[in-house]
Amino acid sequence: MPRNQQSFVCQSCGSVYGRWQGRCDDCGSWNTIEPEQDALAAPSSGKKTKARGLPIEGLTGHAAPPPRFGTGASEFDRALGGGLVPGSALLVGGDPGVGKSTLLLQTAAAAAKDGKRTLYISGEEALDQIRLRASRLGLEDAPLQLAVGTALKDILQTVKANKPDFLIIDSIQTLWSDDIPSAPGTVGQVRACASELTRYAKNAGCTVVLVGHVTKEGQIAGPRVVEHLVDVVLYFEAENGRSFRLIRAVKNRYGPANEIGVFEMQGSGLKEVLNPSALFLGEGDEDTPGTAVFAGTEGSRPLLCEFQALVIPSQLAQPRRTVVGWDSGRLAQLLAVLSARSGVEFGRDDVFLSVAGGLRITDPAADLAAALALISAKEGTPVPARTTAFGEIGLSGKIRPAAQGAMRLTESAKLGFVRTAGPAGLESDTIPYVPLSSLQEAATWLTGS
C-alpha cells in the first residue's frame, strides 16, 4: 500500500475500509469509523530478515506453572489468578478517574519494595504529580523508578537500557509511534504501540501493564485490537457514586477469567475489601417485607447481597417497573412467571427492585432471591430472618440447579445465616437447607398458604 493512501478504520474493532461508512460491518458500532493515513503500514522499520526453520517440539516436556509475583494486594492477585506472570502483557481498562493510576502506583511500589526492578512511565502526569500522589499514598520510600514520556521509541530505548522486571505504561492512549501518521489515541497508534510493547514483554521477560481509558461508549479505544494482543485484560469498575471498586479479569491466558477483586477508594488510596459480602449486605432490617439475601457468586468467589423490592398500587395507566443492579428484561420475565405460575399478580402495581450496595448482578441464580423479595413485598410477609436464597427460575416456574451450590451454602453459614433456600436435589452439611422445586412451592413456603 502506498504510504499516503487514506483508509478508514473502525476505532472500536480496528476493521479497515476503503471509504467512510456510518456503521462498522464487523462490530456493528455506529460512528466509530475515522479516516486514518496508512493504517495498514507495518510499524517495523521495513528491514527484511532471512527466513529460518522453526524448532518443532512435542507436548511432553517442561510444563511448570508460570512463576508469579505478587501485586502487594491479595484482591488484585486473586483477580489475576494468583499474581503477575513475568513476560506477560496486561491491559487495565477503566473510566477516567476510577483509580487506575492509583492502583498501579500502589502495585508498582509494592513490587519495587519486594525487590522487582520497577519502572512507571506516565504520559499523562508530570513527575511532581506522581510524587505528590505517592506521598499521599505513603509510598515515598518505595525504590520505584519514574519516567515521563509519550514517544514509543524513547520508551523502548529507556526500557532496553533500564531492563525493568515490571513496566507500567500510563496510558496506552497517550503513546505515539512515528511509524504511524495518525494521532495518538487512534486505533492505528494504539495497536502499533501495544504490539511493540507486548513484543518487548515477551522478548525481555518483563511484565508490562498497559493502562487504557474507556471511552464514553464504554469501550477502550480499539479494545479488540489491544485485547487480543495482550495476555490478560482487566477492567477496573466503579458503580456511580460508590467508593468500592471491582477489578475484573475478562481475559486471562494464565488463569480463570471473570475473577474479581474488591477495593475501596479511601482518602489514603485503595484498600482491599477482604470480605466483600459484608459490604453488599443491606441494613439487615429483618422485619421489613421486601428484602431477600441472595447467595451469589462472582467468578469463583461467593458474594452475598441483598435484593430490596417495593410494590405499590399504581396511579399510572402503564405501571412503572424500575430496577437497579439487575437486568430489567429479567425482572419483566420474572414478573410474568410469577403471575402465570404462582398466582402473585403485579399487573396494577408499580414495582421497584434494587440490589443493595450498588452491585450489578449477572449471576443467573439470582432469580429466586429476587422472586422472594417481590412476593414478600407484595404480600407484606417478611422473608424468614437470616435466610439466603439462590436458584434460577425457568419460564415453567421450575427452580433449576445452580453452579457452585456448595460454595453458596458455605458462605451463608460463614456469615452467620441460619438457613438457605435453593433448588431441590442439593445436600447441605453446612447450613439447614430448604429445597424448593418450583416458584409455586417458594410462594407457599414464604406466605404459608
246's grid cell: 471491582
Which residues, in sequence order, are CB contacts of 137 under 8 Å at separation 6+?
102, 105, 106, 109, 268, 269
d(CA 191, CA 183): 12
Q: Which is nearer to Mg ion, 101 or 173 (CB)?
A: 101
Task: Out of 101, 107, 182, 198, name the contact with ligand TYD by CB under 6 A.
Answer: 101
Q: Which is nearer to Mg ion, 101 or 198 (CB)?
A: 101
Q: Which is nearer to ligand TYD, 112 or 374 (CB)?
A: 112
Residue 170 CB, nearest approach to Mg ion (Å)? 6
Residue 267 CB, nearest approach to ligand TYD (Å)? 6
Binding site annotation covers 98? yes
Window contacting ligand TYD (CB under 6 A); options: 16-24, 99-107, 154-162, 218-226: 99-107
Residue 248 CB, nearest approach to ligand TYD (Å)? 15
Window contacting ligand TYD (CB under 6 A); options: 96-104, 108-116, 192-200, 321-329: 96-104
Binding site annotation covers 29? no
Instruction: Identify the sign of the CA torsion 250, 254, 259, 265.
Output: negative
The site partner of 93 among Mg ion, ligand TYD, none (C-beta below 5 to 8 Å per kind) is none
Window contacting ligand TYD (CB under 6 A); options: 76-84, 100-108, 140-148, 220-228: 100-108
Order across the sheet with 260-266: list the strands.
145-148, 118-122, 166-170, 207-213, 89-94, 232-238, 244-252, 260-266, 269-272
Q: Which is nearer to ligand TYD, 98 or 393 (CB)?
A: 98
Window contacting Mg ion (CB under 5 A); options: 11-19, 95-103, 109-117, 303-311: 95-103
Residue 135 CB, nearest approach to ligand TYD (Å)? 10
d(CA 197, CA 289): 55
* Window 180 to 199, contacts with Mg ion (CB under 5 A): none
For residues 93 and 217, is the Cβ–Cβ distance under 8 A?
no
Interaction between residue 269 and ligand TYD (CB under 6 A): yes
d(CA 96, CA 100): 8
Ordered alpha helix ranges (H), 286-327: none
Residue 236 CB, nearest approach to Mg ion (Å)? 11
Interaction between residue 94 and ligand TYD (CB under 6 A): yes
The site partner of 267 among ligand TYD, Mg ion, none (C-beta below 5 to 8 Å per kind) is ligand TYD
d(CA 149, CA 155): 7
Binding site annotation covers 26? no
Q: How far apart, in Å, are the Cα atoms of 445 and each of 73, 228, 345, 395?
A: 43, 49, 17, 20
Task: Out of 100, 191, 224, 301, name the contact with ligand TYD by CB under 6 A.
Answer: 100
DSSP labels, 121-184 = EESSS-HHHHHHHHHHTT-TTS--EEEE--BHHHHHHHHHHH--SEEEEE-GGG-B-TTS-SPT
Interaction between residue 416 and ligand TYD (CB under 6 A): no
Q: State whether residue 112 is helix, strand or coil.
A: helix
Number of other residues whose CB lies within 10 A of the CB of residue 407: 15
Phi, psi of 85 (to 5 degrees): -105, 125
The site partner of 133 among ligand TYD, Mg ion, none (C-beta below 5 to 8 Å per kind) is ligand TYD
Task: Out of 117, 131, 136, 253, name the contact with ligand TYD by CB under 6 A.
Answer: 136
Which residues, in sequence order, are CB contacts of 8 under 8 Å at separation 6+?
16, 17, 18, 19, 20, 21, 33, 34, 35, 36
d(CA 64, CA 426): 37
Interaction between residue 101 and Mg ion (CB under 5 A): yes
176's grid cell: 505515539
Interaction between residue 106 and Mg ion (CB under 5 A): no
Task: Out of 43, 72, 81, 99, name the contact with ligand TYD by CB under 6 A.
Answer: 99
d(CA 118, CA 229): 22
Interaction between residue 133 and ligand TYD (CB under 6 A): yes
Q: Which is nearer to Mg ion, 91 or 377 (CB)?
A: 91
Task: Out of 97, 143, 218, 432, name the contact with ligand TYD by CB under 6 A.
Answer: 97
DSSP labels, 352-382 = EEEEGGG-----GGGHHHHHHHHHHHHHT-P
The site partner of 269 among ligand TYD, Mg ion, none (C-beta below 5 to 8 Å per kind) is ligand TYD
Binding site annotation covers 342? no
Interaction between residue 131 and ligand TYD (CB under 6 A): no
Task: Out of 148, 151, 250, 265, name the contact with ligand TYD by CB under 6 A.
Answer: 265
Q: Is 333 left (phi over 0), alpha (psi -120 to 50) or beta?
A: alpha
Known binding residues for ATP are 94-101
Enumerate binding residues for ligand TYD (CB under 6 A).
Answer: 94, 96-102, 133, 136-137, 265, 267-269
Enumerate binding residues for Mg ion (CB under 5 A).
Answer: 101
